[in-house]
Amino acid sequence: MQIILIRHGQAESQKTTDAARQLTAIGEWQAQQTAAWLLNHGYQLDGLFASPYVRAQQTAYHIGQALDMHMSTTDLITPDSDPTQAIAWLDSLELPETASIALVCHMPIVGRLASYFLAGTTRHDLPFYLAEAKVIELPVLAAGLGKTVTQFVPPEHPI
């Protein structure tokens, strides 16, 4: 099983609610870079899931466009979501061992999920850069059995 954890691109400062924050022009560019990297490296997804927060939806939109993939929304991967609930939800999907899915979300949930899959605990937040994609291989969906295959971090701004 392959789980690709992706943090959203750069977002605007909070003006109304955290959920309403949109990507900046740089954040859009970062999301496009991550989407292009996934496409250029031949990733084919069986599922693309995003937080309902606008910046995650916008990031996932670029990935979905690049990979010709429909995006589904789940409120189990918002910034303050309980990672154990997200993991239970993933388990309930009964994904085959050959599945490849992407989750587009936020800190700290993305770091806690990575920590669970790689180190076996949700108590630590592994750091994630903006629009970073971390590809984790798992023999089964279980704590600490994952290995990072590769990752991509787009530049902070267009060169």
Domains, the chain, ranges and CATH?
Answer: 2-8+20-152 (3.40.50.1240)
User: In this predicted model, what pLDDT tens digit does every residue of 70-79 receive, in sequence order?
Assistant: 999 999 999 9
**Mean pLDDT of all residues in 96-111:** 96
Residue 155 has pLDDT above 90, yes or no: no
Written as one letter, the residue type at 38 is L
Identify each DSSP E strand in 19-115 by its residue range.
47-50, 71-73, 100-105
Helices and strands in the chain: count of H runs, count of E runs: 4, 6
Please report which confidence band the pLDDT of residue 16 belongs to, taking 50, 70 and 90 as the band edges.
Answer: confident
pLDDT for 15 equals: 78
91 contacts: CB under 8 Å, gap ≥ 6 = 141
pLDDT at position 159: 66
The region of weakest confidence among 110-114, 120-124, 144-148 is 120-124
> Can you tell me the mean pLDDT for 127-132?
97
How far CA 136 is from CA of 58, 90, 107, 114, in Å, comes to: 23, 14, 17, 8
pLDDT at 158 over 90: no
55 is in an annotated binding site: yes
Q: Is the pLDDT of residue 14 over 90?
A: no
